[in-house]
Structure 1
Amino acid sequence: MLGIEYQSKRGYIGLEYFGRTVGIKIMPVGVHMGQLQSVLRLPDREWRVSELQQQFEGKTVLLGVDDMDIFKGINLKLLAFENMLKTHPKWQGRAVLVQIANPARGRGKDLEAIQAEIQESCERINGEFGQSGYSPVVFIDRDVSSVEKIAYYTLAECVVVTAAVRDGMNLTPYEYIVCRQGAHRNLNPHRK
């Protein structure tokens, strides 16, 4: 396509570019469909989805699932959600951002600083836009079981993937799409 000479061998492409060879590895990645489908069939999932439907009745649920680290931009996602609530007041009292933060793999001052920023943002947004019985941000900072995570995927109107700083291959959109297959028929029988 670019008119550059290349060689392809066993999942690698080698490009000759301005006197140097640039290697590109082809790595198709996906989710384990069998695992997801087996969890989707568990009775616990149906019970959990029903519980979440009651908890968020009448609300539009947006879902974020990210690792708790300095590169994922969780706080930037919260700031964007806050801006949405400010600039589009019709969503106040209606939109909920459920942010699942997978536990941090490391430690350090940078991580502690971002955790403090995230906590402060959650408190500020919930303080400014929250009402009795309504918190616009639900921050889950603990291990979440597969069943619970899949229940959130099933319920959420959209998943918000914002690899704002740096990210590799993110499987969250794939998992969300698999979990949502047919979900609109199961969640709201009056929806067309």
Structure 2
Amino acid sequence: MYAISLGDDGAELRPLEVWHAEEFLAHLDRGREFIGQFIPFGSQATDVDSAKATLQRYADLRAADSASYHGIWLDGKLVGGVLTLNFDAERGNCEVGCWLEPAATGRGLITRAMRILIDWAVEERGIHRVEWHAASGNQPSIAVARRLGMTRDGVLRQNHLHHGVRHDTEVWSVLAPEWRAARARSGQNDH
């Protein structure tokens, strides 16, 4: 079991596992409308059994080495998370994503957690290309991609139907050499 500090504000990155189903459901219920503005994340988790099924699906994907969930806890309360999906270590590609309830926004939690996740993907798993997909209207998500030093590769016009509206999806990415260079620069700035 791991718990990685995200700073001195009591935030931690931890595994999000099946036994967290009740806490996961309560978290989703607090943020469902906000989280679901641009993506259907958690929409199938509407009771404890379906929350367990959602977490079990990701546990199975993690066991297959193709995806993973990691929760963000703030002062002991689950408030969001980061994830990998379309994880393909053999080809060196993955996609990352996130979610956060509204009460936890504006603290840099996603950026801090994502730095840890991308470091792990690049340095531990040998991922070469990390992608970030965000609806063009989701400015907070796009701001995180920018803070992470990602480059906008392009826009998939009206490719995502959500709540009866077609959204453009922006595809951002960072390559392992770019990630390492940016991390080295930020390390130099810390001294």
- TM-score w.r.t. the length of structure 2 is 0.27
Q: Greater relative contact order: 1 or 2 (C-alpha under 8 angstroms, separation 6 or more)?
A: 1
Larger Rg: 1
- TM-score w.r.t. the length of structure 1 is 0.27
More strand by share: 2
